[in-house]
Structure 1
Amino acid sequence: MLRKRGLFRTFLLVTCVAILVLLFWGIAVGGRPGQTDREQQRGQLDETPSVRDVVADILRSADTFERELDLQRKIIQRIQTHLPRLKVLAGRTGQRSVPRPDVIPILVIACNRVTVKRCLDALLQYRPSAELNPIIVSQDCGHAETAKVIASYGDQVTFLKHPDLTDVAMEPQHGTFFQGYYKLARHYRWALNQVFKTLSHSSVVIVEDDLEVAPDFFEYFQALHPILKSDPSLWCVSAWNDNGMHGFVDAAKAELLHRSDFFPGLGWMMLRELWDEVEPKWPTAFWDDWMRRPEQRRDRACIRPEISRTFTFGEYGVSQGEFYHKYLRHMKLNSRYVPFTKLDHSYLKERYGDEFKNKVYSAPVVSYEEVKQGKLSGSGPFRLQYSNMDSFMGLAQNLGIMDDLKYGVPRAAYRGVVTFMSRGKRIYLAPPLGWTGYDSSQG
């Protein structure tokens, strides 16, 4: 910097001297054209101070410029001195800052249950942010008392009403009993179009009006939303464990999550990309079983919890209470808040399958009698093997877990394996090693 300053000053001095030489040379040679000798002599005397003034101004400007350069140099030196500390502070600030979560609306599918109040009260009680988790209630049926209950929440919810309340044309083999399934599928399609196409959301969590949610319901979905977005082998996140009855789950592991090949429903999250995929071919009825078809699932899995984050209190609906008394009313709803957003869920990603398989088939094989009578020695886990789907259904029914299949997939199964607790021991009800896939013609 000093060397550059010296060169600059030298350049200015040389320039000034050159100007002076040229000026005086011109005067000495003959002055300006048209001047007499006396005028030239007078002009020479008159211009001399003016040239000196010009040179003085140039030198003053050079000094001012040098002082400005010197000031800028000192400022730059100060910045360079403090730069490492500024970088550390910036890094610390970056560590403290948390990326803003995505907006994940909750869509409540309602019809004619005034007990929707129980569902909405729980959602509003546990909702951490009205901005990040807007609640959208879509009502079919036109039931006035239910509409009055929903409207009483005012601007706490967005209230949508399905405009088409007419009957739906049904397949000839279906009687009037099944009209509710047709209307429900039509309502789902309309409501999801409102969420994704009219309101332009990128994801949604769907619950029905007979579901109560756990204290960490919102935390659960917020934590798993990034995984669902980034992992193409997943297509939903569900709050439900089909075998989540009391005594069949590990109550000490509320944070434990699993993959499942079975679409659970009952409080589940989907992305707009999935809706874009399935909406053009959406079924006229039985939408949940349609989702379980292999051509919809396409070998993708859902994440489900060990302990359910929803509980159904609706004894009767379009299914007329199927499974309610035997299974659903015995479901355990999680009561312990789990800070899912602070936990590591990398174990749920694509490598989960191989690790799960190793865990299952390295477990010792036990007999049905040992499991049923509680004669297992050791902490487990243990593997109870079934030979075919008839064998599976017999074992499941006798053990007390759900025994039905949908397109060959048992409820809560992953790669043919259904995991549950029995007398405090982890059991893998598993097919033989070398299992090659589900038989979609069964169930």
Structure 2
Amino acid sequence: MIRKRGSLIFCGMFLFISWNAILVLLLWGRPLSWQQDEPGQDPRPTKWVLGDILKIVDTIEEELAKQKQILTQIQKHPLLGEPSNRNNPKVIAPSEPVIPILVIACNRVTVKRCLDKLLQHRPSAELHPIIVSQDCGHTETSDVIRSYGSQVTHLKQPDLSDIAVRQEHKKFQGYYKISRHYHWALNQVFKTLSHSSVVIVEDDLEVAPDFFEYFRATLPLLKSDPTLWCVSAWNDNGREGFVDPGKASLLYRTDFFPGLGWMLLKEMWEELEPKWPASFWDDWMRQPEQRQNRACIRPEISRTLTFGRRGVSLGQFYDKYLRYIKLNTEFVPFTKLDLSYLNEDTYRANFEKEVYSAPVGTYEDIKQGLLTGPGPFCLIYSNKDSFKMLAKNLGIMDDLKSGVPRTGYRGVVSFFSRGRRIYLAPPPGWTQYDSTWS
């Protein structure tokens, strides 16, 4: 069928060329009668000759119009234009999702370090617009942000007033303002600017080279898995020596909300926004009423690093833990990796099998380097006190929020010690967190 259509088309082209060639030959070969009125005058064409020429011109114009129409049809035919997709339809790739970066800023001129790294590693301005939301009205910080021009969108929180709080909470005024700012800024992203997702960082965070790659790869998981409610770039126990340097691509599920560079969907904000707290928003996120047994994704090696010792928390945990967090330097092509192992059913079964089939060690064995074999090893805690004692002595963070340990998944905290994987775990048969462990 295709061969026959091709023959017809080329025949049409041949006839077109032949017809116009004949017209030209006829015009060249036709004799014209000329009239000479008087001797010495220039010969002029007779009236009938002029009329004949006009008729020929009209005929040629009509024929050219027809031939133009034929050529246009030939040009549009699928065999001569774009290849037909009737049997092999062209697959149109869906448009890539836009994931804006929301930078929460206040009065740190060092926001420049944060913005410089974001701009350095950003793969696309269209896919990752940077929105800086500034509270506090600090002029010097505002000048720094404005210096980036069109590279960032600069929003200013309009309400800078003090918040009425109980007398005993006067010293926590800063936490109330931060919570108010988050509420306003996230409404700007989702309601005013109509984005469907966002990655939130604060002005004292530096990002890794694969920061954007990490969130692009995990967005489909967050959208498709109802047992997930966020993706974080942070590992609370991610200090040098406590992570496996050879596992930069390794990701986990965690029941603890990490924050410090995290992705949120519009649908989740619509759930949280009506009940957003007046203060201490991050601890509020860790309460079971908000978490609802959902997990976050977090990396083995952090994709953010905090450099802000000064702040409303007055450097809590900074000198002991946060300043030593290892920032990933190896670019991992997450979007090309199979991350299906993070789906709840698969992940839970495989994780629990690995934890509870591992040889059981003791604290003394770990501290004295008496463990033999590559690991992993399991270290069992029985209650809140034993967890805190073991965590503190092993050098990992020992605080709990609503009963959930930092980085914990089903009560298990995974970390590296002396080059071996250790699982600090509750006894087999664990069912739920005890919110009184806080």
TM-score (norm 2): 0.80
Counterpart of 1:270?
264
Please list, as runs of the form range in 1=range in 2, the aligned pairs for 1:21-420 lying within 5 A after superposition: 87=87, 90=88, 94=91, 99-175=94-170, 177-351=171-345, 352-420=347-415
CA distance in 1, matches of 2:94, 2:123: 16
CA distance in 2, matches of 1:185, 1:390: 32
Q: Structure 2: which amino acid aligns with 1:421?
A: F
Q: Structure 2: which amino acid aligns with 1:208?
A: E
CA distance in 2, matches of 1:442, 1:430: 15
Contact 1:213 1:310 in 2 (8 A): yes
SS in structure 1 at match of 2:169: coil
C-alpha deviations, 1:232-282, integer Å up to 9, x for none? 000000000000000000011100000000000000000001000000000
Counterpart of 1:71?
none
C-alpha deviations, 1:393-431, integer Å up to 9, x for none? 000000000000001000000000000000110000000
CA distance in 2, matches of 1:98, 1:398: 52
Q: Structure 2: which amino acid aligns with 1:131?
A: E
Q: Structure 2: which amino acid aligns with 1:144?
A: T
C-alpha deviations, 1:191-211, integer Å up to 9, x for none? 000000000000000000000
Q: Structure 1: which amino acid aligns with 2:210?
A: D
C-alpha deviations, 1:25-82, integer Å up to 9, x for none? xxxxxxxxxxxxxxxxxxxxxxxxxxxxxxxxxxxxxxxxxxxxxxxxxx99x99xx9
Alpha-carbon distance, 1:373 to partner:
1.3
Q: Structure 1: which amino acid aligns with 2:425?
A: A
CA distance in 2, matches of 1:377, 1:395: 20
SS in structure 2 at match of 1:194: helix
Alpha-carbon distance, 1:376 to partner:
0.9
Contact 1:266 1:310 in 2 (8 A): yes
Contact 1:211 1:312 in 2 (8 A): yes
Q: Structure 2: which amino acid aligns with 1:318?
A: V
CA distance in 1, matches of 2:97, 2:354: 34
Identity %: 71
Q: Structure 2: which amino acid aligns with 1:378?
A: G
Count of aligned residue pairs for this structure pair:
360
Contact 1:260 1:301 in 2 (8 A): yes
CA distance in 1, matches of 2:105, 2:368: 44
Contact 1:236 1:302 in 2 (8 A): yes
CA distance in 2, matches of 1:410, 1:429: 10
CA distance in 1, matches of 2:358, 2:296: 24
C-alpha deviations, 1:158-188, integer Å up to 9, x for none? 000000000011134313x200000000000
Unpaired runs of at least 5, structure 1: 2-74
TM-score (norm 1): 0.79
Alpha-carbon distance, 1:98 to partner:
5.1
Unpaired runs of at least 5, structure 2: 2-76
Q: Structure 2: which amino acid aligns with 1:122?
A: K
Alpha-carbon distance, 1:86 to partner:
7.8
CA distance in 2, matches of 1:171, 1:392: 34
SS in structure 2 at match of 1:303: strand
Q: Structure 2: which amino acid aligns with 1:397?
A: K
Contact 1:119 1:211 in 2 (8 A): yes
Return the match for 1:440 from 422, 435, 438: 435
CA distance in 2, matches of 1:415, 1:391: 17
Counterpart of 2:71?
none
Counterpart of 1:26?
none
CA distance in 1, matches of 2:435, 2:348: 20
Contact 1:420 1:427 in 2 (8 A): yes
Larger helix proportion, structure 1 or 2? 1
CA distance in 1, matches of 2:93, 2:212: 17
SS in structure 2 at match of 1:138: strand
Q: Structure 1: which amino acid aligns with 2:262?
A: W
Contact 1:101 1:222 in 2 (8 A): no
